[in-house]
């Protein structure tokens, strides 16, 4: 490892612009003549549009145009789609309801766009939007997914009977039934995985510009995957032809999944620019973010685990209802199926698993992938089950897990996944040691003397990352391949530009990707720049989500580097009159191994471009591209331990210790990886303790639509974390990486809740475990009197 190469704690290249206020986010962009868009949104959760009157609004100062769904449909702009086909167990395809970018007849959630005003200033656009008059016919709203599928519930979409999108299953139900027949013990649990609002700190925004002179479209947008946005906007939404559309995702202020999807607003800004003849910018405010960014999670689950007489797991059955909200968002269908049920084996050698998932429409904001996407839900089911089982069986939670760990690899689970590598005992041991697990009883006794209830909980998670082998996801219903692409451009002076299809919105690619490149040729990090987020510059890309930028994105770069290296060696061999196989590139020098014959790296690069003396037949230049399609998912795994103290008088939970031991395979930059884990844990703790997305059950209003009501984790809700890594190299990709972006959010919620249930001695608590809920649970369990 060099001081700047793989494994080094290199400070970030991108920081300078951010800490000096020079970052360039979408809302920072302006254009001459630019106008502002403001959306008119449905105030009702379910209502028919009887009439829209834009007359008074159109006469307001500064108004350039007011557009509705009628014009959108007239211009042939297509409906939003879900790009992953899921079939129900009766083989019928999922029931996708029509989702126009601007509602024409019916609005199905509060905040759905029904018209857009384009005006000269932000304020004028807002004023005019408020002046658009709409006559509504209110319809009954359904918020609860269980009510949505109950007898006689009002149907939300014409083509979805009983509001059911699909009724899907995976696994061998007969084998599971047989296991439960012979079980010595069965643990049962009912869980709600609470709905979350992603809340990237930069609200979504878009600036659309149609250049009539050259018949060319440009949109700046807050996207995690600008090429996918271009593809979808042209191929499905018909906004602009792909070869005439440039999508730029400049600096993006966090995504966590919510900026994967292509939303109505960017489509409308681009289309409205063509319609009005001016560049059109829209910037969401936080209330719009709450109402319209795709939400996450929202599962109701019953699960049972069967054990034989010595605590060996022999079967698992899971029944889940997933609330999709009012429309199917871009990847929604995959989340509670192939990203959830396929992870239900966890770290355990479970011989039989069956899972049934019903996806349901309700009159709420659409739900899609949010940090972890399906894998946090699977981990929550398993790890709460295991901890509960340990208590029922009178075994230590660590021992029960240890007894059932998968120990040999590759391991084929009963639910599709083939784990390639791992050492679950190593991360469990590392976490227990870091947490001083053995010292817990003494700490609990000491806390009791202070009148506090202390509890400890663990969670051993696994996730499938490095998403994903294209053929595999294609066979499972994905409409796209999930490879990645890269281009490495070596300049005549030896500096290098890397163009990547991955997109960094906090992940530090400009630094970590450059580390890999610098190490390969032994050149300074400062001589490498990383470019992303612009479809006119980068050849193609599938973007960043599913912890795929390292395992897939960097692998594409490595493939391109291999080609560059091979060509550079050919040129050097020719110049040095040596055999190609004898050339090595190290420390910025290209030398004949074992001799002092050498050229500087930049001399070889220059030779490639002068073309004065190249091997016969070799093209000049030194620039290579590559596409990398992974052969398998990667399987990061780890163990999290949370220790809490609860004040029985108030029900307030304080996290007094949080330990994470993760196996991410090879780590490029430990500082960056630790940062990813910190952020993930904060989101997981937020889900476990604070974040409640609440809809009024009668009116369907989103009650928690601002930071006044939705409890975001703040600095004093959290402790400092103890994070470390163990390492098993991933055999599936050239750098041996597994991915680290989502682990924290996946592993932490069950660890926190297991600690709370340990402290209060009852399992009856749902997330978020607010002081009120904990206080009530303590009263119900009778522990309060005991503590007093």
- Please report, as ranges, the residues that interact with another protein according to CB under 8 A: 11-12, 14-25, 27-28, 121-123, 199-203, 251-254, 256, 283, 285-287, 505-508, 671-672, 674-676, 678-683, 706-708, 712-716, 718, 720-721, 744
- As a whole number of angstroms, the distance between CA 788 and CA 783 comes to 9
Tokens of 502: 């991955």
* d(C-alpha 50, C-alpha 52), whole Å: 7
**CB-based contact 760:455 (threshold 8 Å):** yes
> Between 12 and 443, whose beta carbon lies closer to ligand FES?
12
Cβ contact 342:308 at 8 Å: no
Smallest distance from the beta carbon of 743 to another protein, in angstroms?
A: 13
Q: Does 506 bind ligand FES (CB under 6 A)?
A: yes
Nearest Cα neighbor of 293 from 285, 301, 303 is 285
Binding residues for ligand FES restricted to 5-44, rule: CB under 6 A: none
Q: How far is the CB of 679 from another protein (least distance, A)?
A: 5
Q: 9 vs 779, which CB is nearer to another protein?
A: 9
Contact call for residues 103 and 9 (beta carbons, < 8 A): no
421 touches, from ligand FES, another protein, none (C-beta below 5 to 8 Å by class):
none
Q: Tell me which DSSP letter residue 532 carries.
A: -
How many residues are recorded in the chain? 788
Give the nearer residue to another protein in terms of CB position, either 345 or 544. Answer: 544
- Distance CA(243)–CA(246), nearest Å, equals 8
C-alpha–C-alpha distance, residues 751 and 745, integer Å:
11
Kind plus residue range of the DSSP H or E element containing 488: strand 484-490
Residue 19 per-residue DSSP state: H
SS3 307: strand
Please report how close the Cβ of residue 399 comes to another protein at its closest, in angstroms: 31
- 635 touches which of ligand FES, another protein, none (CB within 5 to 8 A by kind)? none
Chain centroid, CA 471 distance in Å: 21
> Restricting to residues 184-243, which ones interact with ligand FES according to CB under 6 A?
201
Nearer to another protein, 490 or 743 (CB): 743
Nearest to 652 by CA among 711, 580, 610: 711
Least Å distance, CB 1 to another protein, is: 19
Q: How far is the CB of 256 from another protein (least distance, A)?
A: 7
DSSP state of 224: S
Nearest to 67 by CA among 273, 326, 289: 273
In 3D, which of 56, 369, 431 has the Cα closest to residue 225?
369
Q: Which does 715 bind (CB under 5 to 8 A by kind): another protein, ligand FES, none?
A: another protein
Helix (H) or strand (E) holding 551: none
Closest CB to ligand FES among residues 512, 728 = 512
Q: With CB cut-offs between 5 and 8 Å by kind, which of ligand FES, another protein, none does residue 501 bind?
A: none
| For ligand FES, the closer CB: 275 or 505 | 505
CB nearer to another protein: pick between 592 and 723? 723
Q: Cα(642)–Cα(384) distance, rounded to whole angstroms?
A: 13
Tell the smallest beta-carbon distance from residue 526 to ligand FES (Å): 24
Cα angle for residues 53, 57, 58 (degrees, 5° grid):
95
- Report the distance separating Cα 525 and Cα 588, nearest Å: 12
Whether residue 570 contacts residue 578, with contact meaning beta carbons closer than 8 Å, is answered with: no
Nearer to another protein, 697 or 707 (CB): 707
Among 43, 62, 254, 351, binds ligand FES (CB under 6 A): 254
Neighbours of 150 (CB within 10 A): 12
672 binds, options another protein, ligand FES, none, Cβ within 5 to 8 A by partner type: another protein
Rounded to a whole number of angstroms, the minimum distance from the CB of residue 202 to another protein is 4
Q: Which is nearer to ligand FES, 201 or 618 (CB)?
A: 201
* Nearer Cβ to ligand FES (418/707): 707
- HSE-up of residue 39 (Cα within 13 Å, Cβ side): 31
Task: Pick between residue 650 and residue 706 the one whose CB is nearest to ligand FES.
Answer: 706
* Cβ 373 to another protein shortest distance, Å: 16
Give the one entry of another protein, ligand FES, none that residue 12 binds, where binding means its C-beta sits below a cut-off of 5 to 8 angstroms depending on kind. Answer: another protein
Task: Pick between residue 150 and residue 201 the one whose CB is nearest to ligand FES.
Answer: 201
The DSSP H or E segment spanning 209 is: strand 205-211
Question: Which of ligand FES, another protein, none is residue 410 near (CB under 5 to 8 Å by kind)?
Answer: none
Residues 390, 352 contacting (CB under 8 angstroms): no
Residue 23 interacts, among ligand FES, another protein, none and using kind-specific CB cut-offs from 5 to 8 Å, with another protein
In angstroms, what is the minimal distance from the CB of 15 to another protein? 4
> Cα dihedral sign for 338, 344, 350, 353?
negative
Q: Least distance to another protein from the beta carbon of 21, Å?
A: 2
- Residues binding ligand FES: what is the number (CB under 6 A)? 4
With CA atoms as reference, report the closest residue to 318 among 297, 303, 336: 303
Report the partner that residue 708 touches, choosing among ligand FES, another protein, none (CB closer than 5 to 8 A by kind): another protein
User: Cα(626)–Cα(656) distance, rounded to whole angstroms?
Assistant: 47
Nearer to ligand FES, 208 or 253 (CB): 253
Shortest reach from residue 706's CB to another protein, in Å: 5
The 3-state secondary structure of 588-628 reads CEEEECCCCCEEEHHHHHHHHHHCCCCCCCCCCCCEEEEEE
User: Which two tokens mark 452?
Assistant: 């506090």
682 binds, among ligand FES, another protein, none (CB under 5 to 8 A by kind): another protein
- Taking the CA atoms of residue 535, residue 541, residue 545 and residue 550 in that order, the dihedral angle to the nearest 10 degrees is -120
Burial class (CB in 10 A: 0-12, 13-18, 19+), 496: buried
Q: How far is the CB of 24 from ligand FES (least distance, A)?
A: 15
* Closer to ligand FES by Cβ: residue 254 or 277: 254
Binding mask 447-486 for ligand FES (x = CB under 6 A): ----------------------------------------
Q: What residues form DSSP beta bridges with 35?
A: 280
Omega prior to 90 cis, within 30 of 0: no
CB of 79 to another protein, least distance (A): 30
Element (H, E) at 783: helix 783-787
Which listed option, ligand FES, another protein, none, makes contact with residue 365 (CB within 5 to 8 Å by class)? Answer: none
Q: How far is the CB of 19 from ligand FES (least distance, A)?
A: 11
Using the minimum distance from each CB to ligand FES, give the nearer residue, 19 or 649.
19
Point out the residue whose Cβ comes nearest to ligand FES: 201
Judged by beta carbon distances under 5 to 8 A according to partner kind, the member of ligand FES, another protein, none in contact with residue 273 is none
Min dist CB 254 to ligand FES, Å, is 5
Q: Which residues bind ligand FES (CB under 6 A)?
A: 201, 253-254, 506
């Amino acid at each position: 490892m060099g001081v700047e190469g793989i494994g080094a704690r290199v400070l970030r290249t991108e920081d300078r612009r951010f800490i000096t206020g020079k970052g360039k986010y979408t809302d920072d962009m302006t254009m001459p003549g630019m106008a502002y868009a403001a959306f008119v949104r449905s105030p009702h959760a379910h209502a028919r549009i009887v009439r829209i009157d834009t007359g008074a609004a159109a006469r307001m100062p500064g108004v350039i145009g007011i557009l509705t769904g009628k014009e959108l449909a007239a211009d042939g702009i297509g409906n939003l789609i879900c790009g992953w086909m899921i079939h129900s167990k009766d083989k019928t395809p999922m029931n996708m309801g029509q989702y126009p970018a601007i509602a024409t007849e019916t609005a199905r959630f509060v905040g759905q766009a029904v018209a857009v005003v384009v005006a000269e200033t932000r304020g004028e656009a807002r004023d005019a939007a408020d002046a658009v008059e709409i006559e509504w016919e209110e319809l009954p709203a359904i918020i609860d997914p269980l009510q949505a599928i109950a007898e006689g519930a009002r149907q939300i979409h014409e083509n979805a009977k009983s509001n059911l999108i699909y009724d899907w299953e995976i696994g061998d139900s007969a084998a599971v039934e047989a296991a439960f027949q012979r079980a010595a013990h069965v643990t049962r649990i009912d869980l709600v995985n609470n709905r979350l609002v992603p809340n990237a700190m930069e609200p979504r925004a878009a600036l659309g510009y149609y250049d009539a002179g050259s018949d060319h479209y440009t949109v700046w947008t807050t996207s995690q995957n600008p090429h996918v946005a271009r593809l979808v906007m042209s191929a499905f939404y018909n906004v602009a032809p792909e070869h005439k559309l440039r999508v730029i995702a400049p600096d993006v202020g966090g995504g966590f999944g919510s900026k994967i999807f292509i939303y109505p607003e960017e489509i409308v800004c681009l289309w409205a620019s063509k319609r009005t003849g001016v560049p059109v910018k829209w910037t969401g405010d936080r209330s719009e973010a709450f109402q319209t960014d795709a939400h996450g999670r929202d599962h109701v689950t019953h699960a049972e685990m069967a054990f034989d007489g010595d605590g060996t797991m022999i079967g698992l059955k899971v029944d889940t209802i997933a609330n999709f909200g009012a429309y199917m968002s871009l990847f929604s269908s995959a989340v509670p199926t192939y990203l959830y049920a396929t992870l239900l084996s966890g770290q355990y050698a479970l011989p039989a698993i069956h899972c049934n998932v019903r996806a349901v429409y309700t009159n709420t904001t659409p739900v899609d992938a949010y940090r972890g996407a399906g894998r946090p839900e699977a981990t929550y089911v398993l790890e709460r089950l295991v901890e509960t089982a340990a208590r029922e069986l009178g075994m230590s939670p660590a021992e029960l897990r240890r007894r059932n760990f998968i120990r040999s690899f590759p391991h084929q689970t009963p639910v599709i996944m083939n784990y390639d590598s791992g050492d679950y005992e190593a991360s469990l041991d590392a976490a227990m040691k870091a947490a001083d697990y053995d010292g817990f009883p003494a700490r609990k006794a000491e806390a009791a003397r202070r009148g506090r209830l202390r509890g400890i909980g663990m969670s051993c998670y696994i996730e499938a990352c490095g998403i994903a082998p294209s053929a595999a996801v294609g066979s499972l219903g994905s409409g796209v391949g999930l490879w990645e692409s890269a281009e490495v451009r070596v300049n005549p002076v030896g500096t290098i530009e890397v163009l990547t299809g991955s997109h960094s919105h906090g992940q530090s690619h400009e630094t970590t990707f450059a580390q890999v490149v610098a190490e390969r040729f032994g050149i300074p990090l400062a001589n490498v720049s990383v470019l992303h987020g612009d479809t006119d510059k980068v050849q193609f890309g599938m973007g960043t989500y599913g912890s795929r930028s390292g395992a897939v994105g960097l692998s594409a770069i490595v493939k391109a580097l291999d080609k560059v290296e091979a060509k550079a060696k050919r040129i050097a061999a020719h110049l040095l009159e040596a055999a190609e196989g004898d050339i090595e590139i190290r420390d910025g020098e290209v030398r004949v191994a074992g001799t002092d014959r050498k050229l500087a790296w930049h001399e070889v690069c220059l030779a490639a471009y002068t073309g004065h003396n190249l091997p016969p037949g070799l093209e000049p230049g030194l620039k290579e591209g590559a596409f990398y399609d992974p052969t398998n998912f990667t399987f990061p795994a780890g163990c999290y331990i949370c220790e809490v103290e609860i004040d029985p008088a108030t029900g307030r939970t304080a996290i007094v210790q949080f330990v994470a031991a993760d196996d991410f395979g090879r780590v490029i930059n430990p500082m960056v990886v630790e940062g990813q884990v910190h952020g993930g844990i904060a989101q997981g703790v937020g889900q476990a303790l604070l974040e409640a997305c609440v809809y009024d059950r009668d009116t369907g209003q989103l009650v928690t639509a601002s930071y006044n009501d939705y409890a975001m984790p703040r600095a004093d809700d959290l402790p400092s974390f103890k994070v470390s890594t163990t390492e098993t190299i991933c055999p599936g990709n050239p750098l041996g990486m597994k991915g680290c972006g989502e682990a924290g959010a996946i592993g932490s919620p069950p660890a926190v809740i297991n600690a709370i249930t340990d402290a209060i001695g009852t399992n009856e608590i749902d997330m978020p475990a607010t002081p009120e809920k904990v206080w009530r649970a303590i009263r119900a369990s009778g522990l309060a009197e005991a503590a007093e």
